[in-house]
Amino acid sequence: MKNVTVTMHLASDRAYAAGFFDGEGCICIRRNRSPTYSLVIAISQKKVRPLQWLQERWGGSITQNSQRGLFNLQMGKRDGVAFLHDILPYLMVKEEQALFAVEFGGLTKPGTNGYTIDANEFAIREAYKQAITEAKYT
């Protein structure tokens, strides 16, 4: 896998993060208008402290939805792939989705940062998007 920096974290931190993510996290690939595709890793929670703990270790940004009373940690492709790579051995619920996301994150051609993609790349990225969606319901 190219362009992915993996930071070593304690096994107990990775295991905790995986359990938390299995319960509260979401993996999706968004199709934008260009057409481009973006990998998004998100975790929502009423308490900000666990999200801050995750952010300190793996990055991302935290926002607050005051209408719903939730905080949201969101990671883009770089931070998200590194995070999933670290917690993958400990995932139980979202393991299949995470595998697809890590593969998607390893695609080397432009397409997730505002570049237009050709029909073949579009089909590949759409297949990953569908695979992650289907894995949520199996």
- Contact 95/88 with Cβ under 8 angstroms? yes
The Cα angle at residue 134 between residues 129 and 135, in degrees rounded to 5 = 100
Burial class (CB in 10 A: 0-12, 13-18, 19+), 101: buried
Q: What is the pLDDT of residues 39-75, one digit of tens each?
A: 999 999 999 999 999 999 999 999 999 888 999 999 9
Phi, psi for residue 31 in degrees, rounded to 5:
-95, 120
What's the pLDDT tens digit per position in 63-110?
A: 999 888 999 999 999 999 999 999 999 999 999 999 999 999 888 555
Tell me the pTM. 0.83
| Residue 1: pLDDT over 50 | no
pLDDT at 68: 87
Confidence of residue 112 (pLDDT cuts 50, 70, 90): very low
Omega within 30 of 0 (cis) for the link into 89? no
Domains observed in the chain: 11-135 (3.10.28.10)
Distance CA 75, CA 20 (A): 15
